[in-house]
Chain A
Amino acid sequence: MIKVENLSKAFGKRREVRAVRDVSFVAPDGEITGLLGPNGAGKTTLLRMLATLVIPDAGSATVAGLDIGRDRYAVREQIGVLSDARGLYLRLTARENIRYYGALHGLTGADLDARVDALIATLGLRDLADRRAQGFSQGERMKVAIARALVHDPSTILLDEPTNGLDIMSVRALREQLRALRAAGRCLLFSSHVMQEVAALCDRIVILGEGRVIAQGTASDILSWTGAATLEDAFVTLLGTGEGLAP
């Protein structure tokens, strides 16, 4: 469960770039919550605050009941993050990449082996597991990055534009993964600027624009509230113009 209350963050010398302004929402366990917004709406900054990499200027948030400010490292043990930056160590094999993160999360010995093997199996990485990441395709790298994020079996999963650069098959495989995690009762927060993505996957949607929450609720809530026929129309209506939107 993620609870965000009045979170704000500004950047720049005079704090003139207000990336996130007074954002509040709740992402319950066992659901996928979509953060939808055009580029520059503050999605990445919001996720980085929840991942305790960026310290908020104001407001507070809890992840699995832990405060992101006070319990920084405890929060990190609870979350699995697929961040915007998802580079692998190219000279290490897929397995070694995943193991490294498992070890940093305190897993050792048989526990670590079992967990890594399980992820390799579920993500279909068997053929790649002992090859160096150097020659991997985008989709293959993504799978390793997901395995790395999930290696410590986190209760809360943050994904920043996870489908960027993936082909249809990889996107479908990813969706299956996320649905399985939802079924296992995890709390998933998923950011995207692609409406179809969010509509296809998310139970709840938080629409961000210029750092603010513009609307939130289920897809049908948002449709009935705006009176729009499709989520895309609703999105455009809510943001006022079509500017800055990805197709």
Chain B
Amino acid sequence: MSVLRRIATIMVKEIRDTSRDRRTLVVALLTAVAAGPIFLVLIFNLIASQADRARELKLPQIGLSNAPALMSYLVRNQVTLSDAPDDYEAKIRAGDLDVVLVVDANFAADVAAGRQGIVRIVSDRSRDRAQSSIRQAESLLRNYNRLWGGQRLLLRGIAPTVGDPLNVEDVDLATPQQSGAIILFLVAFYGLLASVMGGMAISLDTTAGERERQSLEPLLITPARPEELVIGKWLAVCLFNAIVVAITLSGFYLTLTFAPLPAVGIPFLFSAREYGRFLVILVPVILLIPAILLYVGARARTYKEAQTNVSMLMFVVSMVPAVQLFLQQKEPAWLVFVPISGQYMLLRQALRGEAISIPNLAASYVVPALLICLALFAFSRLLARESILAGK
């Protein structure tokens, strides 16, 4: 019984200690609470604004009255026309305007004389946001050009297709699905990241920090066994980690449920059911990462040294989902056994509303469970070693 009591004592102390570390706490919670939802809102608005621009083109113009037929064509195509301000070039450079249509003053005269009328599209092509407006203006003008030319040919008894042998149809499948995929990736990625980062500060503080501030040696002289210290510390870190994950997911849930997000076709759900599934899927990561962090932290003599060692681990862990996103292949079935990859795979399945198979879920627990045992065993061996007493 005293074993359990000591473990509980150690765990409570670690939690109390960390809960008073205001800076660490604020950073961890702020990242958890704010980062995901803020990102979500930004992405949603970007997609929505691109979609809006694609739907209705706002086209400031100069001299369009010289080409009344073009004007009525544009109006018929739901383009919102307006008079461009005099300083439109500066405004385009500043990003206030996407694109301005300038019709040459001699347009009518040129056309009447059988010459080409000059129409200018003024834009700044380095701006991503303006791209869809520019493309749309260009394609409208191109279509008008073809229509007009075709009518001229028809008047001369020639089929328009003679002068326009190629019919290029642009079928854009990318926009909504791709954007959805990125949000899907983001939500899954953030869930994973939270479970990786959530316990970082506390696990390093309770290992390398303990060595650095010289409180480990007195602790090791108490009757607490190394195994008890390991389990107590691990449980404390896991609890903290789980709280961070839960808060992060709540942030997503609240944002997606209640925030006035623009209506963008997203192919996924994040309701209470997905929330629960996320937690169940993330359990192995929530438990595994602290165990590894504790071991790595205990190997370092100072907090700073530990941070350096850990940053490599963090990099690898956070790259895994990104690599999976860009590979764009169907994932092999064995991937579910790989920690992080397996969770990422299951998280996306959950987001798509697919059923999570119990065998798959169980499979995703196997390797993390083994690694947890291994890491905790290694950590307790480390605490029993004489070299752990070596100072800075």
Contacts and interface: CB of A to CB of B under 8 A. Distances in A.
Given A48-B389, A54-B386, A86-B214, A100 B9 contact: yes
Contacts of B210: 87
B135 interface: no
A46 interface: no
A148 interface: yes
Interface stretch (A29-37, A103-111, A187-195, A216-224): A103-111
A17 interface: no
A232 interface: no
Contacts of A52: 221
Contact of B223 (A54, A76, A85, A149): A76
Interface string A79-118: 1010111111111100010001101111010000000000
Contacts of A51: 221
A145 interface: yes
A183 interface: no
Interface string B374-392: 0000000000001001010
A15 B217 CA distance: 23
B216 A85 contact: yes
Contact of B215 (A89, A96, A106): A89
Given A55-B386, A76-B222, A106-B2, A85 B217 contact: yes
Contacts of B220: 53
Given A53-B389, A91-B20, A105-B222, A100 B217 contact: no
A91 B16 CA distance: 9
Contacts of A105: 222-223
B6 interface: yes
A169 to B, nearest CB: 23
Nearest to A76: B223
Given A96-B16, A100-B13, A103-B9, A53 B223 contact: no
B339 to A, nearest CB: 32
A73 interface: yes
Contact of A53 (B17, B215, B217, B391): B217
Given A76-B221, A77-B223, A104-B224, A92 B214 contact: no
Interface string A32-62: 0000000000000000100111110000000
Interface residues of B, number: 27
Contacts of A73: 223, 225
Contacts of B221: 51-53, 76, 79, 81, 83
A86 B218 contact: yes
Interface in B188-215: 210, 213-215
A25 to B, nearest CB: 21
A108 B9 CA distance: 10
Nearest to B210: A87
A84 B225 CA distance: 21
Contacts of A101: 218, 222
A104 to B, nearest CB: 4
Which of B6, B17, B215 has the largest count of A CB atoms less than 10 A from its CB?
Answer: B215
A215 B279 CA distance: 66
Which of A54, A79, A100 has the largest count of B CB atoms less than 10 A from its CB?
Answer: A100
B83 interface: no
Given A101-B222, A103-B9, A87 B215 contact: yes
A85 B214 contact: yes
Contact of A104 (B6, B21, B216, B391): B6
B9 A85 contact: no
B217 A92 contact: no
B120 to A, nearest CB: 67
Contact of A91 (B17, B218, B223, B389): B17
Contacts of B244: none
B218 A85 contact: yes
B10 interface: yes
Interface of A: 48, 51-55, 73, 76-77, 79, 81, 83-92, 96, 100-101, 103-106, 108, 132, 145, 148-149
6 contacts: A54-B386, A55-B386, A87-B218, A91-B21, A96-B13, A104-B219
Interface of B: 2, 5-6, 9-10, 13, 16-17, 20-21, 210, 213-225, 386, 389, 391
Given A53-B221, A83-B221, A90-B213, 20 more contacts: A53-B220, A76-B221, A81-B218, A83-B218, A84-B217, A85-B215, A85-B218, A87-B213, A88-B213, A89-B213, A91-B20, A92-B16, A92-B20, A96-B13, A96-B16, A101-B218, A105-B223, A106-B223, A145-B218, A149-B218
